[in-house]
Amino acid sequence: MSRVRPLLLALLLLPACSAELDFVRPQRLAVNGAPADGQTVISDGPSLQITVRMQSDATEFVATTVLLLMVNGVDRTAEMSIGGDYATLTIEPPPVGVPQSVELFKRDGTGPLDTATYEALPYTGPTLTSVTPDTAQAGTQVLINGAGFGAGALRVFFGGVEGAVDASTDTTITATVPAGAVPGLLCVIVGADSAVGMVPFLPVDGTGAPLPTPGDTVLFYAAPTRGPVETVVTIAGLDITEDAVLRFDNSNSSRIYNVQTVSFPLIGDVIVAYGVVATYWDPGAGTLQVRGDGDSNGLPFTVE
């Protein structure tokens, strides 16, 4: 989903800020998962995340008391989402080919501690736009619409349950609704990339009645489904709370954060949140999960 030049890690230390924020200090600035040291990040993703990893003895911090994040000379710190030891600003990419600047300061004015520039390229990854019909029972073929489906091997998940891909073109996929599908979102994986777009689907029983919504933690959707450490991953599912953590092949990451409820008329409420690829996750292809009251189902993910 995104492409970055290799960058050096920069360790940023600053003294303790207060009794409440003892040992809270910016440790690393990253743009779309690539640690920054003043060099340029090139992104072709549909959105761009600027992340500051904090070193802390606390589980929460207030970004505006610790750091100052300037984007093109504008203070954007108050817009950052907080999760455990991370603060993340999600923004739309700038105009294509126009360099943008990011500067990280201590709140007391010292700095800049770290800087980066970034440029946007046109997004060329897969997208997901609709499914027809959007209500069907197991064993029914549906037509999934989007773009970029011809760029790699295809996998399709209905509410977190994988269905069979029967045929495809660059803009359509014919797939069969699997047994066990639950009301939720589609997730289409093209090669190692997830197709961007939240499309609801409602499975029904033989009488046409909607199947029940599960009470367990379920992962419907993740984007991107590949990236380096400290990539911010948008996830969506059910029973995902701020106490939940992101997992990769049984290894935990930080807590989920920026938890929001998004309502879809067809299927009801879905939880949308962020997670961060942990610095200690080993590179390779594996399975992404959410651990809440229990482990969710898994979706494919590749740590680069």
Cα-flanking dihedrals φ and ψ of residue 282, to 5°?
Answer: -75, 140
Residue 205, pLDDT score: 94
Domains of the chain: 25-120 (2.60.40.10), 127-303 (2.60.40.10)
Kindly state the greatest CA–CA separation across the chain.
66
C-alpha span between 73 and 78 (Å, rounded): 14
Buried-exposed string 69-86: b where 16+ CB fall within 10 A, e elsewhere: bbbeeeeebeebbebbbb
Cα-flanking dihedrals φ and ψ of residue 96, to 5°?
Answer: -55, 130
C-alpha span between 10 and 26 (Å, rounded): 10
Residue 60, pLDDT score: 65
Residue 39 has pLDDT above 70, yes or no: no
pTM across the whole model = 0.81
Please list, in sequence order, all residues whose beta carbon lies within 8 angstroms of the beta carbon of residue 58, skipping any fewer than 6 positions away. Answer: 20, 21, 22, 23, 24
Residue 126, pLDDT score: 93
pLDDT in tens, 272-291: 998 888 888 889 999 999 99
- 3-class state of residue 77 by DSSP: helix
Residue 204, pLDDT score: 96
Under 8 Å between Cβ of 240 and 273: yes
Q: What's the average model confidence in pLDDT over 251-276? A: 91
More confident residue, 256 or 5: 256
Residue 140, pLDDT score: 97
pLDDT in tens, 170-217: 999 999 999 999 999 999 999 999 999 999 999 999 999 999 988 889
Residue 300, pLDDT score: 96
- Chain mean pLDDT for the chain: 83
